[in-house]
Chain A
Amino acid sequence: MPDNFGRLRPTRRELLANGTLGIGGVALAWLLNQENLLAVPPTVKLKPQSFDLKPKQASGEAKARAMISLFMHGGPAHMDLLDPKPELTKFNGTDYPGEVVYSFVNRASKKLLGSPFQFVKHGDCGTEVSELLPHTAQVVDDLCVIRSMHSGHNGHEVSIRYWQAGIPAVTGRPTLGAWLTYALGSESQSLPAYMVLSDPGGHPVDGVLNWSNGFMPPLFQGTVLRAQEPRILNLDPPPHLKGSLQAQNLDLLRVLNRRHLELHPGEADLEARIQSYELAARMQTAAKEALDLSQETEETQKLYGLDKNETREYGTRCLIARRLVERGVRFVQLFLAGQPWDNHTNIRTALPAVCKQTDQPAAALVTDLKRRGLLDSTIVHWGGEIGRLPVTEGDPATCGRDHNGQGFSTWLAGGGIKPGMTFGETDEFGHRAVKDIVTANDFQATLLHQFGLDHSKLAYIHNGQEQTLTAKRECRVVREILA
């Protein structure tokens, strides 16, 4: 293909066919990016026709090779969990002095609500953590708590889409997991690269958009691991084909496909389908093995809280997440059904309940990854799309807090993120992020950076337009939190 000066560049497919560049050689995105050297694109677009999940080398230095995101839907109340606000306690019951950005104006109040929960300093770093997160408090030296997250929008869906896919409210875009697998492929050729661990209670708010491939091929969509067996659909052969019967079937299929390929030499798609059957066959055993928690010691199971009713389910999923990244899965995201952190009412009882469910398993994940030497290369993320307001919502006796996209907290651990630190600040009452604001795009740029990827260059051509995760919006890599 010529560029505008009539110079020649073969298509990616031709490169592959030619063997000049192995698939693993250069991330596809880079190839594409190099093409776009002029505002006027090449005469015939170098658009790849096929995609794969073979592992690819990032162009930059990669600190992380996997990520587990514990997505905390609904807006965890940061001033009750990770962002202590003594002023808020002090002025409890008085009016917030500035403008409050509400979602539910009909239930709104300006009365400040001091946290009903106590904060204590923990670890060598001395980060203050709420009494609701006793296990998280134990691993605080491994965490980087960011207290200045900012979505700028109070709505759930608006912010979720921003957080997952780069632009507030807009749908139809690939999520972070899709971008990572598109850029880096998978280190496991026996497991899906991007896995989603859903909650037995059902899909989170915004449903399947949370793991959408958007405009990318479905190859990069999150594979949902179900909340109960069978955790992967169609993984098991039906009972009457168990054992060598299915293997014999696949042998026959291979013979038929090979013969067909001989009649169509050079058709890469046909070859790829033959290989995809082979991967599927491998997955049948690999995924089974990965999901078999009986291989874990009793001590490990207890660490995650598998012995207790309130933590068993979430703990199981956290443990599965560790086993998956251990086996080369690139990106794992855990969701809760609906949005348990959306505490509009009864925050005094509802918030402790969801903390009880998630605190120990989340902390166990950090502990466990660390002692296995995996934390260095695995980013653990805990956080939601928004936080909550410092003022009461509803009847004071049964009150909750309203949405707050102006400032909230998240924590990260591992993958070259600086441990034992806090970053950024909200105002004295916790409404707005005021110092070192981290937007969703900053957050995404930083995560990609840890994977050796440049958010402004990792591009996918869609409808002839170069698309990026951060959508060319103003953002930066938050270097202050990098180790």
Chain B
Amino acid sequence: MCVLRSVRHLSLVIAAMLLAGQPSRSQELTFETHVRPILKAHCFDCHGAEEELKGKLDLRLVRLMIKGGESGTAIEPGKPDASLFLRRIKSGEMPPGQTKVSAREVELLEKWIAAGAKTTRAEPTEIGKGLGITEEERSFWAFRPVIRPAVPQWKNPKLEARSSVDVFVLAKLQERDLSFGREAEKGTLLKRAYFDLLGLPPSHNEVEDFVNDNEPDAYERVIDRLLASPHYGERWGRHWLDAAGYADSDGYSNADVDRPWAYKYRDWVIRALNDDKPIDEFIVEQLAGDEFLNGKFANLSPSEIDRLTATGFLRMVSDGTSDGSVDQDLAKNAVVAETLKMVSSSLLGLTVGCAQCHDHRYDPISQVDYYRLRAIFEPSLNWKRWQGRLKTLYTDADRTASAAIEADVAKVAAQKDTKQTEYMAKALELELAKHPEELRGKLRDAYNTAADKRTPEQQQLLKERPSVNISPGVLYQYLPKEADELKGFDTRMAEMRAKKPVEEFLHCLAEEDGEPPPTHLFHRGDHRQPKDIVKAAMLEIATPPGQLIEFPVNDPAINSTGRRLAFAKHLVSGRDPLLPRALANRLWMHHFGRGLVGTPGDFGQLGERPTHPELLDWLASEMIERRETRVESEGNSAAPSQLSFKRLHRLLMTSTVYRQSAARRPELDAVDPSNLLLGRMSVRRLEAEVMRDRVLAASGSLSNAMFGKSISVAEDFVGQVIVNDMSRRSIYVQQKRSKPETLMRAFDAPVMECNCDKRPASTVATQSLMLMNSEFALKQAGSLAARVRQEAATWRDAELARHANEGLETPPTSDHPLARRAGELDRSLLPPRPSDLWQIGYGEFDDSTKRTKSFAKFPHWTGSQWQGGPVVPDPAIGYSFLNAAGGHTGNDQQHSPIRRWTAPIGGTVSISGSLHHPSENGDGVRSRVVSSRSGLAAEWIAEHKTVDANVAAIEVQAGDTLDFITDCRESVTSDSFAWSITIKLKGTDGKEVAWAADKGFPGQPAPPLTNQIAAVWQIAYHRPITPSEFAAVCGFFRQQFATLTEISSGTDPELQALTDLCQALLTSNEFLYVD
């Protein structure tokens, strides 16, 4: 075990080293490489970062350390014991506070001093303010310029590498003598592609078509089709909304005010992706769409609306400014800080938040850098002159149209007023007529006097006779027709007003014209302590040395400052190293489950290193081309835009690396159990929204509707947050920060504190409880069962058999359950249903033989009764019909309705019941019981009354039938009847079983259960059921039936068992995970 383990570890080391993609380190310790990072984390705050040096000690250079401070020299090269600096650290005196230098770090410092306190290169003679940026920091992978790497050579050209992507991955694998795994099964690949690009399952036909499509480009065509689907934008829009921190409410305080118009930004994202908006425009419009409008935010054209909507991106973070009970200055500054956090983690792949209060401890991001970024946003997020978030879409034309309609309405209102006055006067007279004549004049005067002008006498009079105080509301009591006429006016006015253009808003950021505010560096991040003024600029580390990229203070060409526009254009210019890598990594992460950098929001020192740095840079260079190539491609109108997300999806998804099976291989697991080398695909749990959508799609409840106001959520009676309209895709469900939808939250949908870089995939018991018992799970399982019952009827036996054969794990044999005819299978699967014993038809009793002469089943089922055709009387069968309680006789003896019961076992039958002829007309009906073995057993006539219909004993053998025939006698009129029948069969074993005819009345037969089960498998799993699964399901059905029959719950046991089967599938791992 021990030996094995160490071997395994050795291979791990090697794997990790090659993954690191960095040159092997020299063991010589140097200040720049090994020591400075420790000092930066622990010491520079007081000894270097700020002009004021504690103890006058500056630790930024070795020579300054040697020079020392108030307490003398800090280090003596070669003599760790004599170095005050080290002693202070070792004693725990330094640094002050909780965080101490770790033992390993101390050891390293000690070794470095002992080895002579070496530096990599000669130290500068001059050093400016602050920490500056070292060469080591500049050479960190994330800050290097993106230079398109050459595609590597690989050893075995026969191996399948479809694109440069594959070559990069393969090169890493081959260094370890590994290669790609086999390609995934077609069905698996199709599901993977559907869930990845659409977040929805393929339909049955789509699976069929693909599996049967043997053309070499079948898969590529599927990808193209999916990329053209409008559902692509919904799926990938959700990814982007995570990065943007999309929410339909403000958060920040308990008030959690709704954002009724945020959805327009969500819809913008979906449309932009579906339209394959070029990547640079996609970014620029979200950061600065408003700046294209040149300060004009009224009477917007569709393209202007589009650009302004995009800036919703910058209005997504939690925002306390709408809640008057919170500290507004604090809330406004929090919005700015959170927006910077969101922008930097989503677009720059950096966490800049900590530089709000002090220089970043690990990354070369100074506090000044942070406020430079802030200055980009401060003109639009100016906490001293805060701007609202809503812009009306009402145009002047809308206002004119609206005013015109109001004017027309006013005319109608005036007409109504005239009429109303007239009718009220009439009504008053009608009322007055009920009062003594001598009072009428006084009452009329009192009524017609304004309430506040009435004399006490008048008031008294009206008080005594309140009925005179008539109002328009009681007009209908006097003049109903006239009241209706008035109501007609109201309806008309409402109809007219409904034609007014509806006022809509955008939840957006729109920088107004005006003097841009100065941006101050806040001491310790406290907005109440403003210090130096800082100019808008790009992070220094992301620009070439000595070439700080500043943004305009106020662009004279446009009505806004132009800062965000300049910033955005810089990000997509090809000169910025951060955005292209961040985007490329995000794209990779969503396709493969893990980014090439595992920390998509942090490419800094504390983040992870790229597993495939060259591949990342190659993809980044595909993301944002260099300016020169852009110009070239623009000149060539035939070439599609290179800056296309869809092109990149296609590139990644058609690669060999993407098409691999998820199967683990021992040789791969031994080296790379976490699949960092991508020698296979990873198994992934569906994200919350995809899971929910997949359930809805399976149950047949999912609507195709896109866009629009968010579907509201509410707490149900037990406090779960549920969606009011279950049919819509999850992306349209209201994202209320204080009320996350229970199901999706449980499956790790983010509650946007700020934004979400990466979702966890948790596995907890409460999720299981939800899948077992929640109303959602139960309801959707029920819907799937209902769907299956209906749809399975349309499936042909032949098709089923073919599916069955495809699903076989071993070659089909004749005794394979699915190889037999479906109808027969049900018998083997289920105990007999009560309705199986009954057949409903018509025929004739032969008086001479005392036996049934003919029997034929009724051809038509109405949902409650069997009859000759859709209409009664049927041209051929006449009035004859039967339902659970009774029926109607035929027009002649040949068409007498017959219930036929088949004895399941032999024994003695007794019959109890009553025959009822309700009509007072006609000559009543005659009913007979006829045994197939012994002929007529009993006969009764009911004429305008009820008679008992009992039979003491009939001997039967298994398979014998008893016919319950009713005829019309002589007269064919008024022959409705009710016949209650209960059969008791005492078997030869002495056991007694009873059947009631109404309970066992057979309706339209359900499709064979086998078809239903096969259909469930296809709908939920998109593949045929296998024999071993079928055997398990059979066992399950028998057991479930036995239990359900035992407890006789009153539910339809067959439907209940089917529903339970559906729930098991919808909550199983094959459903919740994709591979």
Contacts and interface: CB of A to CB of B under 8 A. Distances in A.
Interface string A190-209: 00100000000000011110
Interface stretch (B100-108, B220-228, B830-838, B923-931): B100-108
Given A43-B16, A464-B607, A470 B98 contact: yes
Contacts of B1070: 256-257, 260
Most chain A CB neighbours (cut-off 10 Å) among B27, B719, B742, B1075:
B719
A248 interface: yes
The listed residue with most B CB atoms (<10 A of its CB), out of A5, A45, A472, is: A45
Interface in A1-58: 1-2, 4-8, 10-11, 13-14, 17-18, 20, 36-41, 43-45, 47, 49-51, 53
A270 B683 contact: yes
B98 A473 contact: yes
Interface stretch (B282-290, B617-625, B769-777, B810-818): B769-777
A273 B1072 contact: yes
B1068 A226 contact: no
B942 to A, nearest CB: 40
Contacts of B829: none
B763 A1 contact: no
B762 interface: yes
Interface string B649-692: 00000000000001110000100011010000001010000000
B604 interface: yes
B1069 A270 contact: yes
A39 B606 CA distance: 9
A226 B715 CA distance: 13
A248 B1051 contact: no
A424 B1065 CA distance: 61
A2 B17 contact: yes
Nearest to B1072: A273
A219 interface: yes
Interface in A303-336: none
A266 interface: yes
Contacts of A214: 753
A13 B673 contact: yes
Nearest to A231: B718
Interface string B1-16: 0000100111011001
A6 B254 contact: no
Interface string B937-976: 0000000000000000000000000000000000000000
A17 B602 CA distance: 28
B806 interface: no
A297 interface: no
B20 interface: yes
A346 interface: no
A135 B410 CA distance: 72
B415 interface: no
Interface in A36-93: 36-41, 43-45, 47, 49-51, 53
Interface stretch (A115-123, A138-146, A275-283): A275-283
B105 A38 contact: yes
Nearest to B20: A43
A235 B773 contact: yes
Contacts of B757: 463
Given A37-B105, A233-B720, A265-B664, A270 B97 contact: no
A218 B764 contact: yes
Contacts of A475: 98
B746 interface: yes
Nearest to B251: A171
A39 B38 CA distance: 5
B343 to A, nearest CB: 15
B608 A267 contact: no
A6 B17 contact: yes
Interface string B1045-1075: 0010101000010001101110111101101
Contact of A235 (B662, B767, B769, B1068): B769
Contacts of B683: 264, 267, 269-270
A463 B602 CA distance: 6
A313 to B, nearest CB: 17
Interface in B603-660: 604-609, 611
B1032 interface: yes
B748 A217 contact: yes
Chain B interface category by residue count? 35 or more
Interface stretch (B514-522, B571-579, B1035-1043): B1035-1043
B609 A44 contact: yes
Contacts of B768: 273, 276-277, 279-281
Contact of A39 (B41, B764, B1072): B41
Contacts of B718: 226, 230, 233
Contact of A45 (B108, B599, B764): B599
Contacts of A245: 1040, 1043-1044, 1060
A280 B609 contact: no
Question: B105, B764, B1040, B1043: which has the most chain A beta carbons within 10 Å?
Answer: B764
Contacts of B770: 233-234
Interface in A250-293: 250-253, 255-257, 259-261, 264-267, 269-270, 272-274, 276-277, 279-281, 283-284
A277 B771 CA distance: 9
Contacts of A192: 765-766
Contact of A172 (B12, B754, B1029): B754
Nearest to B748: A218
B763 A273 contact: yes
Nearest to A267: B683
A17 B673 contact: yes
A38 B1068 contact: no
A223 B1069 CA distance: 24
B97 A249 contact: no
Contacts of A8: 9-10, 12-13, 16
A51 B718 CA distance: 29
A237 interface: yes
A273 B1072 CA distance: 10
A98 interface: no
A393 interface: no
A244 interface: yes
B8 A18 contact: yes
Nearest to B42: A39
Nearest to B4: A18
A49 B679 CA distance: 19
A14 B598 CA distance: 17
A273 B669 contact: no
A465 B351 contact: yes
B763 A255 contact: no
B97 to A, nearest CB: 6
B82 interface: no
Contacts of B41: 39
B25 A4 contact: yes
A466 to B, nearest CB: 8
Contacts of B1028: 259
Nearest to B770: A234
Given A2-B13, A38-B104, A463-B757, 4 more contacts: A4-B25, A233-B718, A273-B1069, A280-B766
24 contacts: A2-B16, A6-B25, A36-B102, A41-B606, A44-B20, A44-B609, A45-B599, A53-B764, A157-B253, A217-B760, A218-B762, A233-B742, A233-B774, A237-B773, A243-B1043, A248-B1060, A252-B1032, A261-B1069, A276-B763, A280-B769, A280-B772, A456-B98, A463-B599, A465-B351
* A-B complex: 9 closest residue pairs judged by Cβ atoms: A464-B606, A8-B13, A280-B768, A37-B104, A172-B753, A39-B41, A43-B20, A279-B765, A234-B769
Interface of B: 5, 8-10, 12-13, 16-17, 19-20, 22, 24-25, 27, 37-38, 40-42, 97-99, 102-105, 108, 253-254, 345, 351, 354, 362, 598-599, 601-602, 604-609, 611, 662-664, 669, 673-674, 676, 683, 685, 718-720, 738, 742, 745-746, 748, 753-754, 757, 760-770, 772-774, 778, 1028-1029, 1032-1033, 1036, 1039-1040, 1043-1044, 1047, 1049, 1051, 1056, 1060-1061, 1063-1065, 1067-1070, 1072-1073, 1075
